[in-house]
Amino acid sequence: MGTPIDLVVVHAISLPPGEYGSSHVLDFFTNQLATHEHPYFQSLQGLQVSAHFFIRRQGQLWQLVSCDDRAWHAGVSRFNGQDNCNDFSIGIELEGLDGQTFEASQYETLSTLCATLADNYPIAHIRGHEHIAAGRKQDPGPGFDWAHLQQHLGWQASRFPNT
N- to C-terminal Cα separation, the chain: 32
Is the preceding peptide bond at 16 cis, omega within 30 degrees of 0? yes
Encode pLDDT of 97-136 as tens digits.
998 999 999 999 999 999 999 999 999 999 999 999 999 9
> Is domain 7-159 given the CATH code 3.40.80.10 in the classification?
yes
Give the DSSP per-residue string, 100-150: S---HHHHHHHHHHHHHHHHHS---EEEEHHHHSTTT---S-TTS-HHHHH
- How far apart are the C-alpha atoms of 19 and 128, rounded to whole Å? 21
Do the Cβ atoms of 92 and 9 come closer than 8 Å?
yes
Tell me the pTM: 0.96
Expressed in percent and rounded to 5, the helix, strand and coil fractions of the chain are 30, 15, 50
**Residue 19 appears among annotated catalytic residues:** no
User: Which amino acid is it at 60?
Assistant: Q
Do the Cβ atoms of 144 and 93 come closer than 8 Å?
no
Q: Indicate the domain borders of the chain.
A: 7-159
Q: What pLDDT sits at residue 163?
A: 64
Please list the pLDDT of the chain residue by residue as tens digits (163 residues).
478 999 999 999 999 999 999 999 999 999 999 999 999 999 999 888 999 999 999 999 999 999 999 999 999 999 999 999 999 999 999 999 998 999 999 999 999 999 999 999 999 999 999 999 999 999 999 999 999 999 999 999 999 998 6
Of the candidates 19, 93, 103, 108, the residue annotated as catalytic is 93
Q: How many whole angstroms from its chain centre is CA 138?
A: 12
Do the Cβ atoms of 80 and 122 come closer than 8 Å?
no
